[in-house]
């Protein structure tokens, strides 16, 4: 198999994405996750840019990584000084990373107009900087910044920058499509022509996604012979982001027959991507290739029927190969076959001709006519089935809830704008709790989980990751019916629930209480025998 090394820059280039910020603890967690996935190189920061990255590299020396090598990042020396005098290069030596990624200018325009030095001095800056780091004991990858644009403008000079890095002792040359604006065929052509000039040197690619071609450009470079691909696991980074390594890894492994992850790691891809997303506090798009929740979701009756007969009919790869799962979405267009399959998950012995099956189909259509939409809230539909089949026993009884808001809020130093009080009964025992939150639903959510945690400790791990509201009949103005969809997670699994009402707080309550009940059922916790 063709070996391709994946180089993840989530903690460096990814941290330059808008809204992204990592603590040292965050970085350590992500490094462990990427190492578990089998990533070869993890670029973890620029120790010359901030004390936090210096602290990270100091602490990271104690990590016992199985697969990955840590990489520090920095630029070539400043013009007209010695490499040994450059603070950035000295900090790279202090970080003591086994690999250092040095970037330098390969586009003559950037040399003359941006850093404003001579073409000759730029070559000296590259060679001196690489040699200084190599002599300190670290392996050096040279990131040829703006290489593809530079090659188009002045190919001979762009390749001279690569020669300068090799004279300094660089082990790998990385061609950077820094602006992210070239079409993949151009990236492939330039990579191929560069490799002919440097046939014995490992070539890598670093692409951005400004025209949506980061993944395609990276693959074009691989097909031209590149043996290292740089990117970020979830694709976030400068501007429109970096090439998405999760997509690249899956394509390399399932389509191109490339060995790109250490060990049998591809089946961990979805799980680890979701773990990294949690730490980064970002949402993976539902439509994300391979790892998104909708990547293997089927809704239309014909699609569902085809997949049930043979998954190859509508799936290009088995979802289990990348650790994802097939989802057959419940809706009025899904068909009877899916309804039977969904019922079988709860009541496997129910006959397909049983009148209950027909009545459940009618119930589904009635609820969808009221505004429920179960294709994004399968967990709530499982509860509908349980209630309809008399297989449902509640975990708690709501006595009452109340939300209170004011403006300005009583505590000007707090972000909380509302308070909520929730009183429940569990096993005949009453409990009441209040909580503050940023809005009435946040306060209600906190109060509900707080009052139930004393009875069901596993709820301490649960939190909301998404909350959506849709107005269903806008003609009703402020009296319109609304649909609330929430997504919850316990850190390992996620599930979605729904509520519909003309009262947005009541709709939210239905979704929140369903979320709690579904979690407790999934944990195998037996409810009380209390009648509600």
Burial of 257 (0-12, 13-18, 19+ CB in 10 A): exposed
Instruction: Read off the tokens for 466.
Output: 């998404």
Of 391 and 323, the structure prediction assigns the larger pLDDT to: 323
Report helix angle 269-280 to 245-254, nearest 10. 180
Q: Is the pLDDT of residue 57 over 90?
A: yes
Q: Whole-number mean pLDDT of the chain?
A: 91
Positions of CATH 3.20.20.70 in the chain: 2-263
Strand partners, 468: 485
Cis peptide before 90 (omega within 30 of 0): no
Q: Are strands 494-501 and 99-105 parallel, antiparallel or unpaired?
A: unpaired
Q: What percent of the chain has pLDDT over 70?
A: 94
Q: Say what the pTM is.
A: 0.77
**Segment of 267-281, 349-363, 405-419 carrying the highest mean pLDDT:** 267-281
pLDDT on residue 399? 95
Question: Measuring CA to CA, how many Å separate 357 from each of 302, 345, 367?
Answer: 20, 13, 15
Going by DSSP bridges, is the β-strand pair 41-45/258-259 parallel, antiparallel, or unpaired? unpaired
- The pLDDT tens digits for 235-286 are 999 999 999 999 999 999 999 999 899 766 899 999 999 999 989 989 899 9
pLDDT of residue 335: 59
Residue bearing tokens 């920095």: 74
Split at pLDDT 50, 70, 90, the class of 531 is: very low
Asked whether the predicted pLDDT for residue 324 surpasses 60, the reply is yes
Q: Which fold has domain 397-522?
A: Double Stranded RNA Binding Domain (3.30.160)
Range among 200-214, 338-352, 384-398 with highest mean pLDDT value: 200-214
Q: In whole angstroms, what is the distance from residue 28 CA to residue 44 CA?
A: 9
Instruction: Locate CATH 3.30.160.270 in the chain.
Output: 397-522
Whole-number pLDDT of residue 476: 59
| 287-322: pLDDT as tens digits | 999 999 999 998 877 888 889 889 999 999 999 999
Report how far residue 75's alpha carbon sits from residue 84's, in angstroms, rounded to the nearest whole number: 13
Provide the pLDDT for residue 37: 96
Q: Under CATH, what is the fold of the domain 2-263?
A: TIM Barrel (3.20.20)
Q: Which candidate, 16, 15, 41, places its Cα nearest to that of 27?
A: 15
Hey, is 390 helix, strand or coil? coil
3-state secondary structure string, 129-179? HHHHHHHCCCEEEEEEECHHHHHHHCHHHHHHHHHHHHHHCCCEEEEEECC
Query: What is the three-class DSSP state of 291?
Result: coil
Instruction: Between 365 and 451, name the one with better pLDDT.
Output: 451
> What pLDDT, on a 0 to 100 scale, did the predictor assign at position 75?
97
Name the pairing type of β-strands 327-328 and 297-298: parallel
pLDDT (tens digit per residue) in 182-215: 999 999 999 999 999 999 999 999 999 999 999 9
User: Given this model, what pLDDT does residue 479 score?
Assistant: 62
> What CA–CA distance (Å, rounded) separates 272 from 233?
9
Sheet of 482-489: strands edge to edge?
463-471, 482-489, 494-501
Number of H helices, E strands in the chain: 17, 18
In the predicted model, is pLDDT for residue 5 greater than 80?
yes
* Buried-state track 374-408, b at ≥16 Cβ within 10 A, e below 16: bbbbbbbbbbbbbebbeebebbbbeeebebeeeee
Question: Would strands 2-3 and 258-259 be described as parallel, antiparallel, or unpaired?
Answer: parallel
Q: Does residue 484 sit in helix, strand or coil?
A: strand
The torsion angles phi and psi of 23, rounded to 5 degrees, stand at -85, 170
Torsion over CA: 221, 223, 224, 230 (sign): positive
């Amino acid at each position: 198999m063709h070996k391709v090394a994946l180089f993840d820059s989530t903690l460096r280039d990814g941290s330059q994405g808008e809204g992204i910020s990592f603590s040292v603890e965050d970085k350590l967690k992500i490094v462990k996750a990427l190492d578990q996935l089998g990533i070869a190189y993890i670029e973890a920061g620029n120790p010359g840019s901030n004390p936090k990255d210096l602290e990270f590299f100091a602490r990271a020396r104690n990590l016992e990584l199985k697969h990955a090598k840590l990489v520090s990042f920095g630029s070539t020396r400043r013009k007209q000084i010695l490499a040994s005098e450059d603070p950035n290069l000295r900090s790279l030596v202090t970080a003591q990373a086994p690999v250092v990624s040095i970037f330098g200018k390969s586009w003559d325009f950037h040399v003359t107009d941006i850093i404003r030095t001579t073409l000759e001095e730029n070559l000296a800056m590259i060679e001196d900087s690489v040699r200084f780091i190599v002599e300190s004991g670290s392996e050096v990858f040279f990131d040829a910044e703006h290489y593809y644009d530079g090659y188009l403008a002045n190919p001979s000079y762009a390749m001279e920058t690569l020669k300068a890095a090799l004279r300094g002792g660089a082990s790998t040359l990385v061609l950077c499509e820094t602006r992210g604006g070239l079409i993949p065929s151009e990236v492939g052509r330039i990579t191929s022509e560069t490799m002919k000039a440097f046939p014995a040197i490992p070539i890598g690619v670093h692409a951005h996604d400004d025209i949506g071609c980061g993944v395609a450009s990276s693959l074009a470079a691989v097909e031209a012979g590149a043996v290292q691909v740089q990117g970020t696991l979830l694709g976030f980074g400068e501007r429109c982001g970096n090439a998405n390594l999760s997509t690249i890894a899956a394509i390399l492994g399932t389509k191109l027959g490339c060995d790109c992850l250490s060990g049998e790691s591809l089946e961990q891809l979805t799980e680890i991507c979701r773990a990294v997303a949690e730490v980064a506090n970002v949402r993976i798009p539902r439509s994300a290739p391979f790892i998104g929740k909708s990547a293997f979701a089927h809704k239309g009756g014909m699609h569902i029927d085809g997949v049930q007969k043979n998954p190859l009919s509508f799936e290009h790869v088995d979802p289990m190969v990348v650790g994802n799962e097939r989802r057959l979405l419940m809706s009025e267009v899904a068909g009877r076959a899916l309804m039977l399959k969904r019922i079988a998950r709860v009541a496997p012995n129910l006959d397909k001709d049983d009148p209950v099956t027909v009545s459940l189909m009618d119930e589904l259509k009635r609820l969808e006519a009221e505004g429920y939409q179960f294709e994004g809230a399968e967990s709530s539909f499982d509860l509908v089935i349980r209630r309809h089949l008399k297989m449902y026993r509640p975990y708690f009884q709501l006595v009452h809830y109340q939300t209170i808001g004011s403006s300005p809020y009583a505590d000007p130093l707090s972000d909380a704008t509302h308070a909520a009080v929730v009183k429940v009964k569990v096993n005949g025992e009453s409990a009441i709790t209040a909580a503050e939150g940023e809005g009435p639903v946040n306060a209600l959510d906190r109060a509900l989980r707080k009052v139930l945690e004393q009875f069901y400790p596993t709820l301490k791990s649960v939190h909301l990751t998404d909350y959506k509201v849709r107005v269903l009949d806008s003609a009703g103005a402020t009296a319109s019916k609304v649909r609330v969809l929430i997504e919850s997670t316990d850190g390992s699994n996620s599930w979605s629930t729904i509520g519909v009402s003309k009262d947005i707080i009541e709709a939210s309550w239905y979704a929140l209480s369903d979320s709690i009940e579904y979690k407790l059922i999934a944990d195998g916790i037996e409810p009380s025998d209390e009648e509600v």
